[in-house]
């Protein structure tokens, strides 16, 4: 009987403890002052591949910051891609050796949050009077929260809290060989539509002997899309059929997606469409006169066009043509919609609040005008603060568009202005634990269909139904938490729950007392 009562109480305890949801978020509290008598080391992880100018900006930021704070040393580690940063962070969470500041993606941060108290929530830090953005005890001219571009700041807010700050932002753009479009007898519209792109791409497939008529070469892929996950996400968003919502509810595997995949299959079958994963970088084909519509990030604009300052092909392979920069193709030209994305910064928690404060100060320094403007100038990024965007230095930079084929390369500047002029037409995707996998799944659908038609497979309803099942299994989408990003703060317990817990506590006291009395009586009997 005693054991039955104990078991019942245990079950009730577990039920009640789980009623209120996930683990509560702990709020980091800033120290009143930075301890300048101690030395601190801030580890900083960032991404860079071949752009030495970006490395130099990082070094500039570190040097200037260390001069302002002689007791803080910043140690930088550079990675070739964000996937490796993500993998190393996940590994280091388990060993308690995360970096202090990391440039990463919000989707990845959502996964970091599954660890207990790993990422510092920034809600209170942003507005702290002393050490918040633009705080009175900060030794440099940092932007205030109100000087952050609202759309970019919101992208870093999920699970009801601010867990990151934007570092740079870009969007996707369609880089168009205008000469080939006109040679095919078409006139570029004010806004690119999917129908127009598909129509021109198919028209370009006409051959004369063993070469294509439009370029006189044996190779032509009229339409190449680099990021197929963004392709699918944007197409769905334009059609009002988002692939997920903020709670993690998956809407990807819909009839709308099915119709998109059939369209992709039709154009992949004629070889009018391909992807980066299948064919290689869109810029290489565009610059060689082997592509008409190349979709890539505005950050990749320095690689696009006959006079691009960065090239992956030999100079003798270049073809002279006029490059025009458009937003990604649209279904409704009256309502332009395109994705906003880019690297963000997160702050990892440590046992020493002083170390976190030192790291937070460096993170802020990366938002100062000089660093924002310098880094954005290396590629087609835009600063994430209105303060930097409106500064005299940045406006001077924009005014020199086309004056050279390096810092002010015309195609890069057109890509920058595309985002600056259309920030209000951008959208962001929902972020939650598992959103990175869902994003990968969106791209996999297009990649799989494109590969399959090349292998002479028929992409019909049965094929797509089977593909849906395979992709859901591959990316374990059935395991995605439906509750959203990180552990959500659910507020104080309801009065009913408090009453139940109080009653349970009284019961526990009673039963423990009962068990104790029983144990004493048993001991006395044994002694007789």
Q: Check residue 515 and give its pLDDT.
A: 58
CATH second-level architecture of 171-339+425-479? 3-Layer(aba) Sandwich (3.40)
pLDDT, average across residues 454-480: 94
Please say whether the beta carbons of 96 and 117 come within 8 A. Answer: no
Statement: residue 231 has pLDDT above 90: yes
pLDDT, tens digit (0-9, with 9 covering 90-100), for 359-392: 999 999 999 999 999 999 999 999 999 999 999 9
What share of the chain has pLDDT > 70, as a percent? 86
Task: Report d(CA 181, CA 132) in Å as an integer.
Answer: 51
Q: Residue by residue, what is the 3-state secondary structure of 401-437?
A: CCCCCCCCCHHHHHHHHHHHHCHHHEECCCCCCCHHH
Statement: residue 85 has pLDDT above 70: yes
Please say whether the beta carbons of 387 and 369 come within 8 A. Answer: yes
Domain boundaries, the chain: 21-169+342-390, 171-339+425-479
* CATH level 3 topology of 21-169+342-390: D-Maltodextrin-Binding Protein; domain 2 (3.40.190)
Label residue 27 by pLDDT band (50, 70, 90). Answer: low
Report the range of poorest mean pLDDT among 17-31, 168-182, 451-465: 17-31
Task: Report d(CA 336, CA 375) in Å as an integer.
Answer: 28
Instruction: Judge whether 21-169+342-390 and 171-339+425-479 match in fold.
Output: yes
Task: Report d(CA 494, CA 516) in Å as an integer.
Answer: 33
Q: Check residue 488 and give its pLDDT.
A: 39
Q: Check residue 484 and give its pLDDT.
A: 41
Report the range of poorest mean pLDDT among 265-269, 507-511, 517-521: 507-511
Statement: residue 90 has pLDDT above 90: yes
Tokens read off for 261: 């995949």
Label residue 478 by pLDDT band (50, 70, 90). Answer: confident
Q: Which of 105, 101, 141, 136 is nearest to 119 (CA)?
A: 101
More confident residue, 525 or 49: 49
Q: What is the mean pLDDT of the chain?
A: 88
Question: How far is CA 73 from each of CA 61, 195, 362, rounded to the nearest angstrom?
Answer: 12, 54, 10
pLDDT, average across residues 431-456: 95
pLDDT, average across residues 475-494: 53
Q: Check residue 479 and give its pLDDT.
A: 77
The number of residues in the chain equals: 528
Q: Check residue 433 and give its pLDDT.
A: 85
Statement: residue 302 has pLDDT above 90: yes
pLDDT, tens digit (0-9, with 9 covering 90-100), for 312-367: 999 999 999 999 999 999 999 999 999 998 899 999 999 999 999 999 999 999 99
pLDDT, tens digit (0-9, with 9 covering 90-100), for 234-256: 999 999 998 898 778 899 999 99
pLDDT, average across residues 468-490: 68
């Amino acid at each position: 009987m005693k054991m039955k009562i104990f078991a019942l109480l245990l079950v009730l305890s577990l039920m009640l403890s789980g009623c209120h949801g996930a683990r509560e978020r702990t709020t980091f509290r800033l120290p009143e002052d930075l301890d300048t008598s101690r030395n601190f080391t801030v580890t900083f992880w960032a991404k860079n591949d071949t752009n030495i100018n970006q490395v130099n900006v990082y070094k500039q930021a570190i040097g200037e910051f260390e001069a302002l704070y002689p007791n803080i040393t910043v140690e930088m580690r550079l990675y070739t891609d964000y996937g490796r940063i993500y993998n190393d962070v996940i590994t280091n969470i388990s060993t308690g050796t995360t970096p202090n500041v990391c440039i990463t993606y919000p989707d990845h941060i959502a996964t970091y949050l599954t660890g207990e108290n790993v990422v510092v929530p920034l809600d209170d830090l942003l507005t702290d009077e002393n050490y918040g953005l633009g705080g009175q005890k900060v030794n440099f001219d940092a932007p205030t929260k109100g000087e952050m571009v609202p759309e970019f700041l919101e992208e870093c807010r999920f699970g009801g809290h601010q867990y990151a700050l934007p570092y740079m932002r870009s969007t996707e753009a369609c880089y168009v060989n205008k000469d080939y479009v006109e040679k095919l007898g078409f006139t570029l519209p004010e806004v690119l539509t999917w129908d127009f792109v598909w129509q021109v791409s198919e028209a370009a497939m006409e051959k004369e002997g063993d070469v294509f008529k439009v370029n006189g070469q044996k190779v032509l892929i009229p339409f190449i899309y680099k990021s197929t996950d963004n392709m699918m996400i944007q197409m769905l968003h334009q059609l009002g059929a988002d692939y997920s919502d903020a709670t993690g509810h998956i809407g990807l595997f819909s009839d709308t997606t099915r119709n998109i995949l059939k369209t992709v299959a039709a154009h992949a079958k004629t070889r009018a469409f391909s992807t980066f994963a299948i064919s290689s970088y869109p810029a290489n084909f565009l610059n060689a006169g082997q592509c008409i519509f190349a979709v890539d990030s505005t950050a990749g604009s320095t690689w696009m066009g006959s006079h691009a300052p960065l090239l992956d092909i030999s100079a003798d392979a270049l073809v002279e043509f006029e490059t025009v920069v458009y937003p990604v193709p649209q279904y409704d030209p009256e309502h332009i919609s395109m994705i906003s994305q880019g690297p963000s910064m997160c702050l990892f928690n440590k046992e020493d609040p002083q170390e976190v404060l030192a790291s937070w100060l460096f993170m802020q320094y990366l938002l100062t005008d000089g660093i924002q403007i310098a880094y954005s100038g290396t590629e087609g990024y835009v600063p994430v603060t209105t303060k930097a965007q409106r500064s005299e230095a940045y406006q001077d930079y924009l005014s020199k568009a086309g004056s050279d084929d390096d810092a002010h390369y015309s195609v890069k500047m057109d890509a920058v202005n595309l985002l600056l002029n259309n920030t209000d037409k951008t959208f962001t995707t929902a972020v939650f634990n598992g959103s990175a996998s869902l994003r990968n799944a969106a791209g996999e659908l297009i990649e799989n269909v494109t590969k399959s038609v090349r292998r002479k497979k028929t992409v019909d309803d049965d094929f797509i139904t089977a593909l849906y099942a395979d992709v859901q299994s591959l990316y374990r989408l059935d395991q995605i938490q439906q509750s959203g990003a990180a552990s959500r703060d659910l507020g104080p317990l309801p009065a009913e729950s408090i009453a139940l817990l109080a009653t349970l506590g009284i019961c526990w006291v009673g039963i423990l007392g009962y068990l104790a009395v029983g144990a004493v009586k048993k001991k006395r009997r044994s002694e007789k």
